[in-house]
Chains A and B, each alone.
Chain A
Amino acid sequence: MDFSFIREYWSYFLLGTANTIVLAIFTLILGAIIGLVISLMRLSSRRILSWPARAYISVIRGTPLLVQIFIIYYGLPFNFPQAMFLGVDLARFVPGIIALSINSGAYIAEIVRAGIQAVDKGQMEASRSIGFNHAESMKLIILPQAIKNILPALGNEFVIVIKESSIVSVIGIAELMYNAGIVRGATYRPMEPLLIAAFIYFILTSTITRILGQAERRMSQGD
């Protein structure tokens, strides 16, 4: 084992880590929006809404992320300009985020659905009996309570997104895994850069897990 290359190549790991974090944050935000919309559609009694949501969830969960990434990267009907933004190549980054968000959105939709369904049925009835319509009841009564059920699982999804974002290295996004590959090629050392990447991924995910654990404890104190 020889890690002496770090002195020369540390900036690759730093940049890669930063890009991984950016990728994960955007994916989680977009995925949460997609997931909320899809879950509400999925729970709708109107089949014209629930059926597409069901199809979306089962197709996304039933096909490999790797395949989805390639399909979206090559299949997007428009090309993003080869512009650099904050050290990021948008032409690759944007399709990468879209693919990851679409994928994560399906999983988040199921998390949100479970969170909504865990709210006691009487809450909706009480709200409707006061005179609120379904949408108002969702917004004022159900979703504020569902968030407590959703947040822990959403934090878990954040950890998953960080790990799975390594796959977008296949379309040339310079995130942590991709940059580790560059260092492997440049140094002819196949093993050590991977160990460093694994170590950084682990630090990221365990830090987030710990922060989430604390947040959860604080939230349950409010009960």
Chain B
Amino acid sequence: MINVENLHKKFGSLHVLKGIDLEVNEGDVLVVIGPSGSGKSTFLRCLNLLEEPTEGSIFFEGVDIIGGNNDINIQRQKMGMVFQNFNLFPHLSVMGNIILGPIRLKGLTKEEAEVEAMKLLKRVGLEEKANEYPNRLSGGQKQRIAIVRALAMNPDVMLFDEPTSALDPEMIGEVLDVMRLLAKEGMTMVVVSHEMNFAREVGSRVLFMDEGVILEDNEPEKFFGSPQNPRLIDFLSKVL
């Protein structure tokens, strides 16, 4: 579904991504872990071109999204993204946040969009918050709404950029539960996270990134059970 070839990203003289090759298949739940500054967030943000790669190519569903004359705005509709800081739109209600894209970009009527939104809200247990404004919600609720907002576009893949890093510990669980549900339903996901348990239980593949390269790419049992790369062994010994 996503094919990344020789991806490089430089910020000025800072070489953040140093040649990433990766294939994401339909139904994959890819969890990317690694120390801060390893480039994992930058890598994720390159996948929907929030960061413009310096070199390399990315194919999404067969379409070369960097080169060529494709419209990235169309491709982004099929790639939902969830941010560390939620980034809900504070001037819109929860419902307004969710239906803005479906109405404006997918041509749904307000009624259709609201029906779909309510279904999604029910699934994350927040249907009674539909008319609240984001600043009235807890962090965990905000993040669940942010996930719903991305899902409302009916994406083929969901990108999660450290979705629980800005949350109080007691709220992490409710967000991970929603993500677990999504994974079970077969959603293709790429998750940058520090949640090792989530990676182990939910991930179909776990990647270890350090200093701009992928050092290990394996199934969770082998990744955590018999890690090969010395830097991964060192990393795991510190975080587990």
**Chain B residue contacts of A198, Cβ below 8 A:** none
Residues 129-166 of chain B, each 1 if its beta carbon lies under 8 Å from chain A, else 0:
00000010000000000100110010000000000000
**Chain B residue contacts of A127, Cβ below 8 A:** 89
**With an 8 A cutoff between CB atoms, is A129 at the interface?**
yes
User: Contact between B50 and A128 (Cβ–Cβ < 8 Å)?
Assistant: yes
User: Contact between A130 and B48 (Cβ–Cβ < 8 Å)?
Assistant: no
**With an 8 A cutoff between CB atoms, is A123 at the interface?**
yes
**With an 8 A cutoff between CB atoms, is B101 at the interface?**
yes
Which segment, of A51-59, A62-70, A140-148, A179-187, faces chain B? A140-148
User: Contact between A132 and B87 (Cβ–Cβ < 8 Å)?
Assistant: no
**With an 8 A cutoff between CB atoms, is B90 at the interface?**
yes
From the candidates A122, A123, A130, A145, name the one contacting B101 in the complex (CB within 8 A): A130
CA distance A131 to B77 in the complex (A): 5
Residues 103-130 of chain A, each 1 if its beta carbon lies under 8 Å from chain B, else 0:
0000000000000000010110111111
CA distance A141 to B149 in the complex (A): 14
**With an 8 A cutoff between CB atoms, is A79 at the interface?**
no
Q: What's the minimum C-beta distance from A144 to chain B, rounded to whole angstroms?
A: 5
User: Contact between A123 and B87 (Cβ–Cβ < 8 Å)?
Assistant: yes
CA distance A126 to B77 in the complex (A): 12
Residues 151-187 of chain A, each 1 if its beta carbon lies under 8 Å from chain B, else 0:
0000000000000000000000000000000000000
From the candidates B90, B135, B150, name the one contacting A130 in the complex (CB within 8 A): B150
From the candidates A122, A128, A140, A144, name the one contacting B85 in the complex (CB within 8 A): A122
From the candidates A125, A126, A140, A145, name the one contacting B104 in the complex (CB within 8 A): A140
User: Contact between B101 and A131 (Cβ–Cβ < 8 Å)?
Assistant: yes
From the candidates B50, B73, B146, name the one contacting A131 in the complex (CB within 8 A): B73
Q: Give the total of B residues in contact with A, Cβ under 8 Å.
A: 25
CA distance A144 to B89 in the complex (A): 10
CA distance A133 to B105 in the complex (A): 10
User: Contact between A141 and B89 (Cβ–Cβ < 8 Å)?
Assistant: yes
Q: What interface size band does chain A fall in?
A: 10 to 19
CA distance A223 to B73 in the complex (A): 31
Q: What's the minimum C-beta distance from A128 to chain B, rounded to whole angstroms?
A: 7
CA distance A130 to B135 in the complex (A): 21
User: Contact between A130 and B83 (Cβ–Cβ < 8 Å)?
Assistant: no
Q: What's the minimum C-beta distance from B16 to chain A, rounded to whole angstroms?
A: 17
CA distance A142 to B50 in the complex (A): 17
Q: Which residue of A lies closest to B51 (CB)?
A: A125
CA distance A205 to B88 in the complex (A): 38
User: Contact between B101 and A125 (Cβ–Cβ < 8 Å)?
Assistant: no
From the candidates B81, B85, B88, B91, name the one contacting A129 in the complex (CB within 8 A): B81
Residues 64-98 of chain B, each 1 if its beta carbon lies under 8 Å from chain A, else 0:
00000000011011011101010111110000000
CA distance A136 to B73 in the complex (A): 11
User: Contact between B50 and A130 (Cβ–Cβ < 8 Å)?
Assistant: no
**Chain B residue contacts of A122, Cβ below 8 A:** 83, 85, 87
CA distance A13 to B65 in the complex (A): 67
**Chain A residue contacts of B146, Cβ below 8 A:** 126
> Could you pull out 15 A-B pairs where Cβ atoms are within 8 angstroms?
A120-B87, A122-B87, A123-B89, A125-B83, A126-B81, A126-B146, A128-B50, A129-B76, A129-B81, A129-B83, A130-B77, A130-B101, A130-B153, A132-B73, A145-B89
Contacts A130-B76, A130-B153, A145-B90 known; 18 new A-B pairs at CB < 8 A = A120-B87, A122-B83, A125-B83, A126-B81, A126-B87, A126-B146, A127-B89, A128-B76, A129-B83, A130-B101, A130-B105, A131-B74, A131-B76, A140-B104, A144-B91, A145-B89, A145-B91, A223-B135
Question: Residues of B with Cβ closer than 8 Å to A?
Answer: 48, 50, 73-74, 76-77, 79-81, 83, 85, 87-91, 100-101, 104-105, 135, 146, 149-150, 153
